[in-house]
C-alpha cells in the first residue's frame, strides 16, 4: 500500500488542476462537505484516501 499511496501523492503534486486527478477513474475524486467544505479527496484504496486537496 505504501507504493500506491506514494504514487497517488506524486500524482497530486504533478497535477496542475484537480481535473487532472479525475483520470484514472480509480482515483474517485470527490468533493468533501461539512467541516471539510471546499476540500477534495482521492482514494488510495477502499479504506484509505488523501484528503484536504484544494482546487488550484
Q: pLDDT digits over 10-25, tens only?
A: 999 999 999 999 999 9
pTM for the model: 0.82
Q: Which fold is adopted by the domain 2-53?
A: YaeB-like fold (3.30.2310)
pLDDT for 56 beyond 60: no
* CB-count burial class (<10 Å; 0-12, 13-18, 19+) for 11: middle
| Nearest one of 10, 41, 14 to 28, comparing CA atoms | 41
Amino acid at each position: 500500500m505504501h507504493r500506491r499511496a506514494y504514487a497517488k501523492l506524486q500524482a497530486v503534486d504533478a497535477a496542475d488542476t484537480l481535473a487532472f486527478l479525475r483520470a484514472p477513474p480509480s482515483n474517485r475524486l470527490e468533493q468533501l462537505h461539512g467541516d471539510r467544505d471546499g476540500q477534495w479527496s482521492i482514494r488510495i484504496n477502499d479504506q484509505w484516501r488523501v484528503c484536504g486537496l484544494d482546487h488550484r
